[in-house]
Structure 1
Amino acid sequence: MKKFIGTGVALVTPFDEEGNVDFGGLEKVVEHVIKGGADYLVVQGTTGEASTLSREEKRSVLAEAIKINSGRLPIVYGIGANNTQAAIDEINDTDLSNVDAILSVSPYYNKPTQTGIQIHFEKIADACPVPVILYNVPGRTMSNMASQTTLALSKHANIIGVKEASGDLVQCMEICKNKPEDFLLISGDDMLTASMIAIGCEGAISVLANCYPDIFKTICHGSPLEAKNAAFRLLEINPLMYAESNPVGVKNLLKHLGICGDQVRLPLLRATESLDAKIKEVAQTV
């Protein structure tokens, strides 16, 4: 599990002006984060706008990311659904031979019980040929995966960790206190990463690491003082990433950094002029 300690970058999916996947832009992002010290790549998570890509596009993005990466870093691929069988079908229909793990989001919209969430993930883990990292993000799914559910799932041989984006440090402490030693607690909130590392978290799957992989390298691998000071650098820029929903902000920031364009897919829209100006201004102070 050591390959998933440190910074995982929740990669954006760049688009061109016609809305097609911009593979040249993807290459620039991947090279930027690898050179900046990322530890692994996360392809087609929330930040990658997976919900608006077709199955064929998702496969193409994964194949291109694998090609660009060329074996340098481990790769995690997002496969999740609010239909358990649909997630299993996607696992069975996807070539995971060059994927090190999948990241699977807790079922959204349906608002299942904790037992339903547990059985959902057990079925996915049973079917998956590579390890599974759970993803708890109540702000998007509208249901929290309780610590007791995560701990029950941590006993499954093919479930190796959880990306916790609940924002609840007490819940994270309960997981960390009671989890198996080799089960990974991964921060899903950029600004809580330093605090979560202090209680035993193994790193982050980060949005802002698309832009600042070097800062996250310090947060995840530096001393407590270095990590704290690195996190402080992001205090002003971080809320702008979510002002008009992720990944609108981070793509706009990548544009200002000259890495890739800021096109997103409907129902998301590019950053408004006011947000664009604010991100440009604050980015100069990071």
Structure 2
Amino acid sequence: MLSRLLLSFIAIFFKLPLFMLHGLGGLFGRIAYQFDHRFKERIDANVKRAFASLDRNDLKKLTSLAIREIGKCLMEAPAIWFNTPQKNFRWVKQCYGWNYVEAALKKKKGIIFLTPHLGCFEITAQYYAHFYPITVLFKRPKQKWLANIVISGRRHSHIHLAEANIQGVKQLMQALKKGEAIGILPDQVPNEGQGVWAQFFNTPAYTMTLVSKLAESSKATVLIGFGHRLSKGQGYEVFIEPLGSDHSPQGINDQLELLIRKHPSQYLWNYQRFKKPNK
């Protein structure tokens, strides 16, 4: 019953225009930073760790921008989940690098999309699914009511969900064998035994080995997808580029770091990227 009520509320509230959702999100981010001490401490620690060379004023400016973007991220995700695919597609104002997708599809070996916790990481799969099917790996939230909302919201005629377990990995492999695309959050901390420690912003971060294993076994093309959030709720720009030849955990971290340094305010700095893995 609770899940149904929440779904109804979300479906209504998140139909607001994007500029209003982003405005409310920016306000929410600032309030959370002021009153949620764990939220504040985590962001401060991660930003300072990543940009230790910045002086105090520049760190403060970056943090101020980042908390607004985090708030926008929290507000836009449910809106994207419960929008029609057509509306989500219209929110993308431009896509750069689609030629890499077309080249990969011609090889018929599949595509591995790496979408880090940067910008609007929900919009990239939605955009690709407007044209072709994609199987997306996800971690089921521990709270049942939240899991129901996330799963219901992420359903799409061309988006297939693969849970982060053995069965989910099999789904990813099957999609690649069919020459289809899969989507993975490469900076998501895997469970113990499913990753290795690799440097990320000069700090050891437990990094999944799944991407390198899938790339090696399938010979799929590995691309990075990034949904750049435009100001004032104008929508998004999708950027697609090749990962490069190094598919190792360290190679992936290096490329993600380069991308994040270009858009530091849009990274999800409250994410516990440097935590110990769960057993």
TM-score norm. by structure 1 comes to 0.32
Q: Name the structure where helix makes up a greater proportion of residues.
A: 2
TM-score norm. by structure 2 comes to 0.32
- Higher relative contact order structure (alpha carbons within 8 Å, sequence separation ≥ 6): 2
